[in-house]
Structure 1
Amino acid sequence: MSDVPPIEVLAEDFEDLKATVYGFASQLEDNTKKVKHLASAVASGGGQDDDDSGGTGKKPKTPPFILWLSGDQYTAELAALAAWVQDLLIPSYFGEISSSAPWCASWWQHPPAVARLHATWLAWQDLTNPDTCGLTGPSVWHRDHLDPMLAQLRAADGPFAGCMTNPDRPQHTVLPVPPVTPLPAQPV
């Protein structure tokens, strides 16, 4: 007997292979359209447009980059971020404050810190939602978002380094509760 399968089996295998290739081609086409859409949105300076939800006409649920907000929008977003920082981030992930791991009790006055904390908070919202993240979401959040953010913010030469060494600033050794309505970010 021959090891060559009958023509019917080969034809079926060929059709399966052809369907797989067409599926990949379709995915590639969809992804290419999404990339072009995002590139045109970025080029126009608009970031995400009103119809970034796959044609449903709804605006995206996530807020834009926090440093692009102003007025009441910025204040509301910063207040929500401050609650997350105070209630989850600081008690769960922050160790002792030192010159090698600084922290500023007035972190909201440091735009680079606000931007990094906000991005990490947005990722936390997405990656801890069981409806969207799967079982590995929290692990991905720790690895890809929390750990790099903490390394940058708490680096000896990071945005809070001057808070520990500048004589015009108080030494920050206790983590106080941020004000209910944090002040808008100001250049440091």
Structure 2
Amino acid sequence: MGRQATDDWMSMDDLELAVLLLNSVDLLEDPADRMAHDLRWWRRALRRNGHAALARTQREADRRGLLELRAIIRSVFETSSEARARTLLNDGLASAGAVVQVTPAGLGVGGGLAARLLYAVAQLVAEGGVARLGICASDPCRCAYVDRTRGGTRRYCCTLCNDRAAARAYRQRKGQS
């Protein structure tokens, strides 16, 4: 069965790509910025996550743009202001040339990827607000996540950070009793 055309053409894939890009900085790893010097980590991560065709299009010349895109998206994830998120997203989409028009395929993918990822985050903000975007509450982790829980209560990027925080809280409670 082929892929159905729907209104949500971007599905969650582009939103997950945006989170993957944000999490190319992981303060629990060494080096923390996995894209500081080249795009090898990014290309591997794309391939591992089912985006081999996109990985083949990524060039070292695109790295600076990806780092700028990462900074914009991180700012959206870190803000609690709907107005600030809208401004960041609108400015980012405009600088990515994200206007609806048909263009020749040979224009490159840098702006196209930026537009896709920014659009995915913008769509989530428009539908659910910035409350569904988060940065891990476990110190020193600063990984991003999208809260897909029913109650919007997620605080950690992964089970490991959640478990570490629970263990830390348990040790503190035991030490106080």
Q: Normalised by the size of structure 1, how large is the TM-score?
A: 0.26
Q: Normalised by the size of structure 2, how large is the TM-score?
A: 0.27
